[in-house]
Amino acid sequence: MSLVPVPHRLVDRQEEAPGTVTLVMEPVEEPLPPFAPGRFAMVYAFGAGEIPLSVSRIGDGGRLTHTVRAVGAVSRALCGLRIGEAVGMRGPFGLGWDLAAARGQDLLVVAGGIGLAPLRPVVHAVLDEVHAYGRLNVLAGARTPGDLLYQDEFPGWGRPFCAVTTDLPSAAWTGRVGVVTTLLGEARFTPADTTAFVCGPEAMIRATARALIHRGVRPDRVQVSLERNMRCAVGHCGHCQLGPLLLCRDGPVVTHDRAESLLTVREL
């Protein structure tokens, strides 16, 4: 783990949706230690500040990919980066998705909005080792069709089931309409032998977890990724405290049996 920002240079960028950009960063010198799906980096935009970002792809040679939505000063600065410009990155931090605990089981990957970004490496890891897992189900929801991320990858994620839905359809949209939990009835999984990975707005996480547990998925097999205001990333400052958890250290991924009573606590 690096506690001091390490220079990285932007080598590729892609507009995913209005105000949302995927950035590919390459280390200028020595790379950071290896990341795992669900872990995050603290990314420093010079002159603007630092924010936590989960990796949305893990590449060779220390390349890291982050998908960023412009919602504040730092994220807007990152979305405005041009090829060749530099940022500082430190990490990896936090606990990621426990793929080892899911081996041999059916998998549900359920994402809302930009919550698909931290789950994308899970899908890649499973598809790289398909025989180690049961049936893969990828369910993604977004506010509008234009907000759906990684649409060009969906055809390759359909083993055996990938479905997307939107809250507000456009005139040209011919797909499903509704919240992401409406897709659960079409997914193919055996609840008693299923691990779920869930990321998105907290209201969506609560609704999805409740629906899965009602269907028979064990609460300790529903893994959720939570967000709070992370500053130091090493559990010292306390800004990301959620009940007994310091999410930068004890999360961001936790099992729902640990998080259920905490999901009613709003972030200030």
CATH of the domain at 217: 3.40.50.80
Q: Based on the structure, what is the number of domains in the chain?
A: 2
Mean pLDDT of 75-101: 96
Clarify whether residues 125 and 231 are in a common domain: yes
Q: Span 125-138, mean pLDDT? A: 94
Q: Is 177 left (phi over 0), alpha (psi -120 to 50) or beta?
A: beta
Query: Do 34 and 125 fall into the same domain?
Result: no
Res 267 pLDDT > 60: no
Structure tokens at 253: 């991924």
pLDDT at 162: 87
- Going from the C-alpha of 39 to that of each of 53, 92, 117, 225, the distances in angstroms are 9, 6, 12, 10
C-alpha 208/C-alpha 179 separation (Å) is 10
Q: Is residue 267 part of a domain?
A: no
- Give the domain range for residue 53: 2-93
Q: Which residues contact 64 (CB under 8 A, 6 or more apart)?
A: 8, 24, 25, 32, 35, 41, 55, 57, 58, 89
In this prediction, residues 63-90 reach a mean pLDDT of 96
